[in-house]
Structure 1
Amino acid sequence: MSDKIITIVAALIRDDEGRMLLVRKRGTSAFMQPGGKPDAGEDDVTALSREITEELGCAVDGDDVRPLGTFECAAANEPGYRVRAAVYAVNILGAVRAQAEIDEVVWVDPRALPDLPLAPLTRDHILPLAV
């Protein structure tokens, strides 16, 4: 039986120092990009904007959203599933704070990563784009 696919949108968010933002969801160990599943009828940018507002309390700068590609890999938190992620580089407006299902947010240097467990999407696809 083939793996089931979860369709998501994810954001590569960087600060002025080139660090990228990672989040860890409640009850999980892997750090990953913020994002999530689009609601019915939502386009990628609308879904990503909603997810970032819900998870991080800030807003996506709608004038600066750049598609980076669509990637597929093993899901970090759902055994037997794969994620198909439309990934966008975005800038955010406002302060970042963990809320909703997010337990932790960290800013990491993609060239000098701390010893953190990373989701396969982050490790295998997004990190190479960030260095």
Structure 2
Amino acid sequence: MIEIVTALVRNERGHVLLVRKRGTTHFLQPGGKREPGESDLDALARELHEEIGCRIVPGSARHLGVFEASAANEPGKTVRAVVYAVSLAGEIFCQAEIDEFIWIDPRAPVKTQLAPLTRDTILPLALSLSD
């Protein structure tokens, strides 16, 4: 089991921010593993700053749940993600292990390869938040 904390970030049009890590083909939501002693939000804040150069807007984090899916980049493993909806402050740019970021419309067909958690849970969750 791979334990992570991850962010559901939407822009003003309801599009969802996804990232692709170096050496991989699947897009997924930003976030990552906790370091020893870190809370979910401390880990998420650190990961977002390390990966895309942004900070979480204070008071914007909303716990959405804990979800499991097959890991996109580690065959045979399962990912368990604690998911928070957050707003970001700062300009997004790729750094650390992130090669690319995109904004996708969760209402439109997707031609990009998505991680199972993103495809099956995060995008439907994003749609339910905009209702």
Smaller-chain TM-score bracket = over 0.9
Map of 1:32 onto structure 2: 28
Q: What SS is found at the alignment partner of 1:111?
A: coil
Which residue of 73, 77, 82 maps to 2:73?
77
Aligned partners of 2:27 and 2:109: how far apart in 1? 12
Note closer, same or farther for the CA distance 1:16–1:46 as it changes in structure 2 (3 Å cut).
same
* Pair 1:103-2:61 in alignment: no
* Pair 1:47-2:43 in alignment: yes
Structure (1/2) with the larger strand percentage: 1
| TM-score (structure 2 length as normaliser) | 0.94
Q: What SS is found at the alignment partner of 1:73?
A: strand
Q: Percent identity?
A: 58
Which residue of 3, 9, 15 maps to 1:13?
9
CA positional deviation for 1:80: 1.6
CA positional deviation for 1:73: 1.0
Q: What SS is found at the alignment partner of 1:128?
A: helix
Q: What SS is found at the alignment partner of 1:63?
A: coil
CA RMSD of aligned residues (A): 0.8
Consecutive unaligned residues in structure 2, runs of 5 or more: none
Q: What SS is found at the alignment partner of 2:123?
A: helix
Consecutive unaligned residues in structure 1, runs of 5 or more: none
Superposed CA deviations along residues 28-66 of structure 1, whole A, max 9, x for unmatched, are 000000000000000100000000000000101131100
Aligned partners of 1:114 and 1:79: how far apart in 2? 22
Q: What SS is found at the alignment partner of 1:123?
A: helix
